Amino acid sequence: MAATTIAKLAKMKAEGEKIASLTAYDATFAKLFAQCDVDFMLVGDSLGNTIMGASSTLPVTTENVAYHTQAVRNGAPDAFVIADMPFMSYATPEQACLEAAKLMRAGANMVKLEGGDWLLDTIRTLVERSVPVCAHLGLLPQSVNVLGGYKVQGKEASAADNTVRQALALQEAGAQLLVLECVPTSLAKRISEKLTIPTIGIGAGPECDGQILVMHDMFGLNSDYLPKFVKNFLAEAGDLSEAVKLYVQQVKEGSFPGPEHSFKG
């Protein structure tokens, strides 16, 4: 399988080929995911929950993400790796540049930031300085205290229209990928059709250009609580490698996520 690049992801969208991605935090799983043809890996600040045992992503630092990014890079030297920029690590464009440099040096190909309009100058600044950016709209885990919990976003018409507008603005600012989290399928479809950059859904229905899941959720390891948009592929496949292959297969063929994993507007 040819190495994933930003250009390849754009071509996959243009040709209607679904993109299958997972979070990764260490060398062992990164190697497994690469062997199973996962298109890209995200070193998510979800490591706050899955690795550190915190109740949110807020305690995660850039140093934490850089450590795990280097581990993932060591396990999958040719993979396309995106690294999350943690809470308050990109409050200003200047700070974003300094913190993103740490993640790029650790082995990231791209950084991911949560937010809309207020990030436009930051994204322009990063891209001008050769740091590729993945944007993130919908449910923003770093903003959980402002949002009042983990809730589906963009259900009202005005909120949906605003999300579409922000998605277009983020693309115009230079973002080359967009994660949509916990939004109605109809909204994700609107955005995916309007953008030329790929959309990656998590709880955003099957109409996105690709999908991502937290690896622990995909394996059913967070059995005390599995979100609506999660499927336990390990239970179905019975083996870690086969579970990853099944996930990739079902994303590629469009059978995952199904209606039972999606939110209506």
pLDDT of residue 252: 98
Exposed / middle / buried, residue 188 (Cβ in 10 Å: 0-12, 13-18, 19+): buried
Q: What is the pLDDT of residue 264?
A: 85
Query: In angstroms, rounded to a whole number, what is the distance separating the alpha carbons of residues 48 and 234?
Result: 23
Instruction: Kindly tell me the sign of the dihedral angle through the C-alpha atoms of 251, 255, 261, 265.
Output: positive
DSSP 8-state class, residue 261: G
**Is 117 marked within a binding site?**
no
259 φ/ψ sector (left φ>0, alpha ψ -120 to 50, else beta): alpha
Residue from 203, 114, 199, 118 nearest 164 by CA: 199
Q: Which neighbouring-strand residues pair with 178?
A: 135, 199
The answer to whether the peptide bond before residue 93 is cis (omega within 30 degrees of 0) is no
DSSP H stretches of helix in the chain = 6-15, 27-35, 47-50, 62-75, 93-106, 120-128, 144-147, 157-173, 185-194, 215-218, 233-237, 240-253
**Quick one: pLDDT at residue 227?**
82
Q: Is 114 annotated in some ligand binding site?
A: yes
Amino acid 1: pLDDT: 64
pLDDT of residue 226: 75
Helix (H), strand (E), coil (C) string for 174-204: CCCEEEEECCCHHHHHHHHHHCCCCEEEECC
pLDDT at 149: 57
Q: What's the chain's length in residues?
A: 265
Distance CA 135, CA 145 (A): 20
Show Cβ contacts of residue 146 under 8 Å, excluding neighbours closer than 6 positions: none
- Ligand-binding annotation for 84, yes or no, is yes
- pLDDT of 3 reads 87
Domains of the chain: 6-261 (3.20.20.60)
Residues labelled catalytic: 181
**What is the distance between the alpha carbons of residues 245 and 218, in angstroms, rounded to a whole number?**
12
Exposure string for 240-255, b = 16+ CB within 10 A, e = fewer: eeebbbbbbebbbeee
What's the CA gap between 173 and 197, in Å, rounded? 12
SS3 218: helix
Both tokens assigned to 18 = 């679904």
Mean pLDDT, the chain cut into blocks of 10 residues (265 residues total):
90 98 98 98 96 93 98 98 98 98 98 97 98 95 67 88 97 98 96 98 97 96 79 95 98 95 85
Distances in Å between the Cα of 217 and the Cα atoms of 16, 113, 178, 201, 241 are: 26, 22, 21, 15, 15
